Structure 1
Amino acid sequence: MLEKLTTEQRNASTMDLDLMSTREILEVMNREDQTVPQAVATQIPLIEKAVQLVIRSFQNGGRLIYVGAGTSGRLGVLDAVECMPTFSAPKNMVTGILAGGLEALTKAVEGAEDNESLGKDDLKSIFLNENDTVIGLAASGRTPYVKGALSYAKEQKANTVSISCNKQAEISQLADVAIEVETGPEVLTGSTRLKAGTAQKLVLNMISTASMIGIGKTYQNLMVDVQPTNQKLVERSKRIIMEATDVDYETASQYFEKANHHVKAAIIMILLKCSYEEAIKKLEKAKGFIRKAL
């Protein structure tokens, strides 16, 4: 069945890839990459539905869970890991599950992606429930591990989303929302870490970012829930306070400390001229949304 997948077909523009100069290779890769955002754009209505499911999960105390194998699975893990420092997301609020476990981050684990029951078992191990949203990732749209995970998620009445890079994908049949970003033949035949991988990364960026905005993790276009875990992020936190309140660096630094490094609270304290305790109460009442608290 592989020959029927567009991601496995040969690209007419690169039949002589091994005869091209380095410049020609780079130029053709760049031209092919430019088609990816256009393919993603066709799926925005479905991506919107996926975001709505994720927001509902977060509001109900549920999780966003990415499940995949190989490049697709690694992209899910990457997006999940980045949510914690960017949005101060609690541990496991966004989780990436990779076929073969952590070992598969750096090398292929033989047979893992071909095992449907392993996908089910991995979700059972984290106590999947109906409040969660499971997003199955597979460029081919047919990975057994992902199919097993999505099937189990449906049994548990969790929300299900699939992201593939082929039309009429098998995993689409197992999802409440089926996102199919058809990226076409790769520059290097079958190397879906290229256009297909780029497309999946773009979609994951959209889903996680829009979902976090939807639960109050931003103010204007500022990441006000950033977790200041290193010096760079401490400085970024202070600049965010400056941008949101129009105060100078020294004032922002003072309020950053007064607010116990809580950027949202510091902003509320400055704009409403209130204490840290009052700022926290206002944020809790507003469910974390700065605009509502103001």
Structure 2
Amino acid sequence: MNNDFRFICSLGREYRKCFLDGQLLIWKLCWYWLMFASWVASLYIANTMFYLLWQSIFATLDEHMVRPLMFPIWLPKDDPHRTPNYEVFMTFEIILIFIVLFTFGLYVYILFHLLLHYYNLMDVILIALDELFVGLDPSAASLPRQDPRREAVQLELNARVGRIARWHLSIFDSVDTISSVYGPTLVYQVMFSSIVICLMAYQVSEALSLADACFYCGWHRTPLALLVRHDLTIFILRAQHPVAIKFTGLPELQLETFSSIMSTAYSYFNMLRQYNSE
């Protein structure tokens, strides 16, 4: 990610603006998420502490009020609200709140940062495809192969296509790395969360637009396309393979997974409706 940042910052203004705007959005979203998660965690503690303080100040002995816990606890042969059980369980629940905040909160933050970073890198690839033939001499395509002008244009085109291909492959390599670490968590999270399914399915479908962008990059308007037609064909074929989060023993997380889960959910919905009507 640092190498991507340094390299894109050395490119033109349009690349820098697109990438840095995306990084700024990532930074804002991550801070919003961390503040929201911290606020929710603090509410659990503050609400319980406020109720406990109210009991300590205003409650009387004959009200028979039970000291509150953030999460209810039941003991088979004892009272969890008596001393010292109450103090032990309260301390344990406060520690549990902080553990969940630092684990789940940081997990979502890292996931946001990684996936949105490579989503922004796809936008940079789209810009590079739009500018693939910009600034090059179209007449060089009709020159002999040994002509210096054609060789110079060919080298520049090869460099541009190679840079796009390296960026594209780096996205697949990075997603594979993310899958090896977060694969089980992501798959189960998506399988039990319709909102996350919709968001990730949308991102996968947007990733497939790279092939369309390559096809409509303007190759048909310039004879320079003859110099890189094989490279463009290979890139289009490679882009047909969608980005998928995979883990051994679990289904691949991609657009087909979304369709299958939604179809199954709708079947269950119809079955419940029929059962209820009977």
Q: TM-score range by the shorter chain?
A: under 0.3
Of Structure 1 and Structure 2, the greater helix share is in 2
Of Structure 1 and Structure 2, the greater strand share is in 1
